[in-house]
Structure 1
Amino acid sequence: MTIGVGMSTRTALVAGARGVIGGNLIKHLQAEGGWNIIGLSRRGGDDSGRVRHIAVDLLNRQDTTDKLSTLSDVTHVFYAAYQDRPSWAELVPPNLAMLVNTIDAIEPVATGLEHVSLMQGYKVYGAHLGPFSSPAKENDPPHMPPEFNVDQQQFLESRQNGKAWTWSALRPSVVCGIGLGNPMNLAMVIAIYASISKELGIPLRFPGKPAAYNSLIEMTDAGVLAKATVWAATNPDTVNQAFNITNGDIFRWSSMWPKIAAFFGIEVAPPLPMSLTDIMADKQDLWDRMVTRHGLQTTPYADVSSWPFGDFVFAWDYDVLADGSKARRAGFHEYVETESMFMKIFTDLRDQRIIP
């Protein structure tokens, strides 16, 4: 598919187009109008309307240069690509290299480049390491490296110096939305865990650490994050800054968990610490039978399950909160009730026949 020249004054390049964040961002850009959209991912995707996809390995510098060499119309880069690794130190080289390769490839050819948007998270504040100063603020002091989010921002700050384009960084909490095959998708973890619990006729137990059940936490709806991302990338008052983006409310799993169980029509039982990665490892055959019995989409078990990420989030036995007031003071006022967000995602998953 070829996007016609002159159809829009803005062209968005979305790196990580097949993830929860990138996919929802593309949907928002489509709905907003006035954008030509180019999605980058390793698997590529189906072109439609003003959206086209490019399959590219951003870790491969030559492949990135070759695939992006003709994208002279790009005005905005929305970077949400991510590769997982076993340790925090191992995350740095690939995730920094992918960003560097992308900018190195696009900056020389896209002479009208206006903005680079970077997707980050609470790892900037050390939230993944243990109890941190919360609610975290964008100007909190840094923690001991390694941390690829920080390295990526430092690269953009240095690269942007003296250039016409600007940058912004978005820092969501746990992002929730629909996106199959994504390694960081808590809503899918909960939906599949609850569906399998119901299939087995057992109550829904919170599987995380005991103190995590009563700690305060917040989420970020993928739709709200998409709106914030475009807002920060197109507002002259938000350039060269970072913003925490959250739903606007906080909760405890102890109050949310019974509501989730009620949605799936099952009882809730007291929490029981267990590794989802371990206990769900043998559920492949059960899932395949559920797909057949309930007439679900034929979705591989590996694409619907993100058990290590569930274990990661449910192990937070401390408050995980950030101050979102900076974005509100700058003019971003979108919010969503987290309970409603979960119920909408679960309903959408049912409507799409991904879960029973």
Structure 2
Amino acid sequence: MTKQVAVILGGTGMVGANMAQLLDQVGGWDVTIVSRRAPEFDTRARHVACDMSDPDDCARVLGAMGATTHIFWTGHATGTRWVDKAARDTDLFRNAMTAIEPASPNLVHVCLLQGSKYYGRHLGPFKTPAKESDARHFPPNFYYTQEDFLKQLAQGKRWSWSLMRPHIVCGYARTDINLPKPIAVYATLCRKLGLPLKFPGPEAAYRAVHCASDVELLNKGMLWAATTPSAANEAFNMVNGDHFRWQYLWPRIAEYFGMEAGGVQQIDLELMMADKEPLWDEVVREHGLLPTPFSEAANWSFANYAFAPTWDIMLDNTKARRHGFQEFVDSEDMFIRIFDSFRRQRFIP
């Protein structure tokens, strides 16, 4: 049997980090994380620095990884507008794959991480529940250009691919794009000010149907698709398996933080949090928390984005079940479990 050698491209974000840790736990994997910066989490995986925006750097670094059997793409361009991402993110993926694929004669599988924007979730109301077979929306969309490149690259090759489509990935990591993180900081500051916990998005968003993806469930799904022959060359929605409305989940979140749920008060979190650094620093000192700069405590722009949709967001995950992936997560319990982890990490009181 060929030794399983995984390369996680863009592996220092939440999905890549948890993927490396899952492979650590499973055992039997030789893992390399490829990214510009070194990992800040515990893992047995080695790290190799590479600027995937530079084709020459990719050729030098990734072209030397000839033992690779499995590739997990979890990277993305940062600091770019949506209209620019189709080119930027596709270039990153193309540069990396163009270097590593021809140099890897034992390649078995490539797992490409996508998301709910595949269905136009960022543009407005879309067909729900979204199915993997749904038609594409009017471009640009970097998920489309990456997918098309991958399928073209795979033609006539022995290796297979999978496409994973989560929505609002949530986890224990205190990384930038992680919705439980701004919720926890927002609740902590509201409690400090003696305020009820009001939902900061629109009234219609409070009542719409939403879904989420536990990062651990997503990683298990990625590993399953990468090692299950019947899942080869397929796209899978990878969500928890349930749906929720904030109007019913929000009171439980307020209860967790020992607060009154205050209904809806739509605010621009990025604007309203602009002067809250001294308040956060005071909370950190009072409770002896892990010193975390307020600029790193939460991504308020992402929180605005996550709370904004006034339309239902539902991804159908029955296809994965039909192919044999039977894992599921209760989204309400997921949020509470992640908040518990933040307390254990001394990120919040």
Q: Give the TM-score band, short-chain normalised.
A: over 0.9
Counterpart of 1:117, as a letter, is C
Q: Among residues 245, 251, 268, which one is paired with 2:261 in the alignment?
A: 268
Q: Among residues 133, 150, 156, which one is paired with 2:127 in the alignment?
A: 133
The residue number in structure 1 matching 2:226 is 233
**1:309-333 CA distance string (max 9 Å, x none):** 1111111101000110000000000
The residue number in structure 2 matching 1:59 is 53
Work out the CA distance in 2 between the residues paired with 1:43 and 1:85. 16
Q: Among residues 191, 194, 205, which one is paired with 1:201 in the alignment?
A: 194
The question of whether the paired residues in 1 share the 8 Å contact of 2:50 and 2:57 is answered with yes
1:165 positional shift: 1.2
1:290 positional shift: 2.1
Work out the CA distance in 2 between the residues paired with 1:79 and 1:304. 26
Q: Answer yes or no: is 1:297 the counterpart of 2:297.
A: no
Q: Answer yes or no: is 1:12 the counterpart of 2:6.
A: yes
Q: Answer yes or no: is 1:32 the counterpart of 2:23.
A: no
Percent of aligned pairs sharing the same letter: 41
The residue number in structure 2 matching 1:3 is none
- 5+ long unaligned stretches in structure 1: 1-5
Counterpart of 1:119, as a letter, is L
Work out the CA distance in 2 between the residues paired with 1:13 and 1:105. 13
| The 10-residue stretch of structure 1 (275-284 or 297-306) with the greater mean CA deviation from structure 2 | 297-306
Q: Answer yes or no: is 1:170 the counterpart of 2:164.
A: yes
The question of whether the paired residues in 2 share the 8 Å contact of 1:45 and 1:55 is answered with no
| The 10-residue stretch of structure 1 (27-36 or 219-228) with the greater mean CA deviation from structure 2 | 27-36
**1:231-261 CA distance string (max 9 Å, x none):** 0011111111100011111110000001001
The question of whether the paired residues in 2 share the 8 Å contact of 1:77 and 1:117 is answered with yes
| The 10-residue stretch of structure 1 (318-327 or 29-38) with the greater mean CA deviation from structure 2 | 29-38
Q: Among residues 272, 288, 310, which one is paired with 1:317 in the alignment?
A: 310
1:185 positional shift: 1.2
Work out the CA distance in 1 between the residues paired with 2:38 and 2:93. 18
The residue number in structure 2 matching 1:351 is 344
Q: Answer yes or no: is 1:179 the counterpart of 2:173.
A: yes
The question of whether the paired residues in 2 share the 8 Å contact of 1:18 and 1:179 is answered with no
The question of whether the paired residues in 1 share the 8 Å contact of 2:21 and 2:43 is answered with no
| Superposition pairs of residues 143-162 of structure 1, within 5 angstroms | 143-162=137-156
The question of whether the paired residues in 1 share the 8 Å contact of 2:14 and 2:175 is answered with no
The TM-score with structure 2 as length reference comes to 0.96
Counterpart of 1:204, as a letter, is L
The TM-score with structure 1 as length reference comes to 0.94
Work out the CA distance in 2 between the residues paired with 1:134 and 1:94. 29
The question of whether the paired residues in 2 share the 8 Å contact of 1:13 and 1:39 is answered with yes
1:78 positional shift: 0.3
SS at match of 2:39: coil
RMSD: 1.6
The question of whether the paired residues in 2 share the 8 Å contact of 1:170 and 1:244 is answered with yes
SS at match of 1:93: helix
The question of whether the paired residues in 1 share the 8 Å contact of 2:6 and 2:71 is answered with yes
Q: Cα 1:45–1:312, aligned 2, differ >3 Å: closer, same or farther?
A: same
The question of whether the paired residues in 1 share the 8 Å contact of 2:51 and 2:58 is answered with yes
The question of whether the paired residues in 2 share the 8 Å contact of 1:120 and 1:172 is answered with yes
SS at match of 1:12: strand
The question of whether the paired residues in 1 share the 8 Å contact of 2:212 and 2:331 is answered with yes
1:49 positional shift: 6.5
Q: Cα 1:83–1:164, aligned 2, differ >3 Å: closer, same or farther?
A: same
Work out the CA distance in 1 between the residues paired with 2:36 and 2:289. 26
1:179 positional shift: 2.4
Q: Answer yes or no: is 1:122 the counterpart of 2:116.
A: yes
SS at match of 1:228: helix
The residue number in structure 2 matching 1:192 is 185
Work out the CA distance in 1 between the residues paired with 2:200 and 2:46. 40
The question of whether the paired residues in 1 share the 8 Å contact of 2:165 and 2:236 is answered with yes
1:67 positional shift: 2.4
Work out the CA distance in 2 between the residues paired with 1:132 and 1:33. 40
The question of whether the paired residues in 1 share the 8 Å contact of 2:240 and 2:328 is answered with yes
1:136 positional shift: 0.5
Work out the CA distance in 2 between the residues paired with 1:288 and 1:67. 41
The question of whether the paired residues in 2 share the 8 Å contact of 1:13 and 1:74 is answered with yes
1:349 positional shift: 0.6
**1:24-48 CA distance string (max 9 Å, x none):** 1111111111111111222112696
The question of whether the paired residues in 2 share the 8 Å contact of 1:85 and 1:91 is answered with no
The residue number in structure 2 matching 1:96 is 90
